[in-house]
A and B are shown apart, each in its own frame.
Chain A
Amino acid sequence: MNKYQKVAYYPGCALEGTGHAYNSSTKAVGKALGLELDEVKDWNCCGAMEVKNVDPKVQTYLSSRVMAIAAHEMKAKVVMAPCNGCYHNLKKAEYDLANDEASRQTVDRISKKAGHETYQAGSLETIHALDWIKDGIGEEELKRRLKSSLKGLKVANYYGCMYTRPRHIFPEKDQGPGSESTSQPHFMDDLLAVAGAENVDFPLKTACCGGAHTLSDSDTSTQLVLNILQAAEVAGADVIATECPTCHSGLEMHQVRAEKVLGTKTKVRMLYFTQLLGVALGVSPRKLGVHENVSDGLALLKEKGIA
């Protein structure tokens, strides 16, 4: 059996809040493809950027607790996190626990006091929703299961920072043909191309949306988001496909803010890549939460005759 057939699922806090539609569309796509998700029991926040800024080792502990439950209690071999922040932090904790004695000691100490087994590096493989679909189903099988096509839809694939940087926490990337690239990521491009989308040549795939300071330094974030939106429009995109709830809500929020504060209007819409795949797999836009997005993706899909 494929090792990604059934994985431990770590949705994270954002997917229970602003990223609700990413959660429902990820589950819907999994269901349509026959992939199983087993949610991590009693999971906690991964620590995000914020706890890391207060103390990096507390973030390492928080992420390790999630992995400890998945690996030692649920006996899972693979944990899947659709949120770039969660995915990044689990990967970072894995790296720190494998390479840094001080991190190991701190995590062991807090884990013991918290009353659970300490996570041992190497017990679990952390993957992103992109890996899950790309390697769990593969392009040929995905193609076989398509119910419709995204034909005529021009897509800019936006991966953000946390999916590829820094390189050292992603040892499986940049490993030649078939592996993901940290400088030119392509997994989302590959999947959406199979679904019939026309991927535009988008130079800001891994540019920063300013998510870390989205509210504390809004002017900077608005400018960074505007760069991304305008570059996508210049590249001819109708849609920016996203794979992270922080990027997605950042793009949506600052698109509105740029309009209100700077008077700069952009038309490009944001949709989670799972929403786009879901549509091609015949899932109804409502089940994929398309109506929950701030930018009106539904109108665009209708206009293109896709949904």
Chain B
Amino acid sequence: MAIHEKSLIRPENLKTHDNLVLDGVNVSVHWSTFIQSRVVTDYNEAMEEEIAALPGGEHINRCWQCGSCTNSCTVNALNPDFNPRYWIYLIRTGMESELLRDKDIIWQCISCNKCTYACPRDVFPEGVMKATAHWLELKGHTPKSKSTLFDEEFTAQVVATGKIEEGRIIRNFFARTAQPLLQDWLVEMVKRVARRLPFKQGLMMGWGAVFRPRTRKWAKASAAINEYVHEQEARNRKALNLE
């Protein structure tokens, strides 16, 4: 009999033979397809503990694999490869090489918290996705994602001044990710607003913003937050055995 569920098996693990004779019997027609057996030898036993040590990953051990997270996931509806339930399984069983196949999409979690809402075990899958994305970056498996670069730009501004100014964030983020600021859809948007209020164009996008919003009496808070953040960064690196 032929294998009907080939779509469930990775193509590289399917071995088909045009001409195959086994024990003198020609099996070339129906019995020529085999699934290569798989032996996992490279368990990373530290992976679950390391991800659990990063903010958001604390409760990964509660998962009992019901799949409510993947079922409710916004990103999964757009891309079926985005599968939080499966990734939690891989992390908990230490199957690092399997997890790394999806390393470039894990950061795409949009933090809608539908998974956290649905999870019957309070795993906080949204936090686990963030912890996993950070783990991949800290371990050097992926470069910093655009999302991380955006978060860093945003956080640096908040810590420095207590507030953000959207125009400055957009300019700096586009510069850091080497994207042109004058994307035609952004230009079109500004044009549409400008038609009705030319003098406020700068206000809307912050492009003309000369003054930077600041929180008064912020210096001490800024220093205290910086100190804490540096401490946590060192702690996270240590938990991941990075020196």
Binding site for B on A (CB under 8 A): 13-14, 16-18, 20, 42-45, 47-51, 53-58, 61-62, 65, 106, 109-110, 113-116, 161, 164-167, 182, 207-208, 210, 212-213, 215-217, 220, 223-224, 252-253, 256-257, 259-261, 291-294, 296, 298
Contacts and interface: CB of A to CB of B under 8 A. Distances in A.
A257 B232 contact: no
B92 interface: no
A44 B224 CA distance: 15
A257 B185 contact: yes
B189 A253 contact: yes
B152 A44 contact: no
A16 B213 contact: yes
A246 B55 CA distance: 25
A43 B228 contact: no
A292 B117 contact: no
Contacts of A43: 215
Task: State the majority secondary structure of interface residues on B.
Answer: helix
Which of A20, A106, A110 has the most B CB atoms < 10 Å from its CB?
A: A110
B158 interface: yes
Task: State the majority secondary structure of interface residues on A.
Answer: helix
B108 A292 contact: no
Nearest to A162: B113
A260 B206 CA distance: 22
Given A217-B147, A220-B78, A13 B185 contact: no
A14 to B, nearest CB: 7
Contacts of A223: 78
Nearest to A21: B204
A215 B150 contact: yes
B204 A53 contact: no
B40 to A, nearest CB: 31
Nearest to B205: A18
A47 B214 CA distance: 14
12 contacts: A16-B213, A18-B204, A18-B206, A20-B204, A44-B221, A49-B111, A208-B112, A213-B108, A220-B75, A224-B110, A292-B193, A296-B196
Given A54-B151, A109-B228, A213-B108, 17 more contacts: A13-B165, A20-B203, A49-B151, A53-B147, A57-B55, A58-B225, A58-B229, A110-B224, A113-B227, A114-B224, A161-B112, A161-B114, A165-B112, A165-B117, A216-B177, A260-B184, A294-B193
B173 interface: yes
A55 B162 contact: no
Contacts of B229: 54-55, 58
Interface size class of B (residues with CB under 8 A): 35 or more
Contacts of B196: 291-292, 296, 298
B117 to A, nearest CB: 5
A215 B183 CA distance: 12
A61 B220 CA distance: 13
A115 B150 CA distance: 30
Nearest to B197: A291
A210 B192 contact: no
Given A17-B165, A45-B158, A213-B108, A208 B114 contact: yes
Contact of B111 (A110, A207, A212): A212
A13 B164 contact: yes
A217 B116 contact: no
A47 B158 contact: yes
A292 B206 contact: no
Given A53-B151, A208-B110, A256-B188, A65 B166 contact: no
B147 A182 contact: no
Contacts of B145: 216
Interface in B185-237: 185-186, 188-189, 192-193, 196-197, 200, 203-206, 213, 215-218, 220-221, 223-225, 227-229, 232
B110 A50 contact: no
Nearest to A46: B158
A115 to B, nearest CB: 5
Given A16-B213, A49-B111, A56-B55, A165 B188 contact: no
Contact of A260 (B185, B197, B224, B225): B185
Contact of A50 (B116, B154, B204, B232): B154
B113 A165 contact: yes
Contact of A217 (B146, B166, B223): B146
B56 interface: yes
Given A220-B110, A256-B189, A50 B150 contact: yes
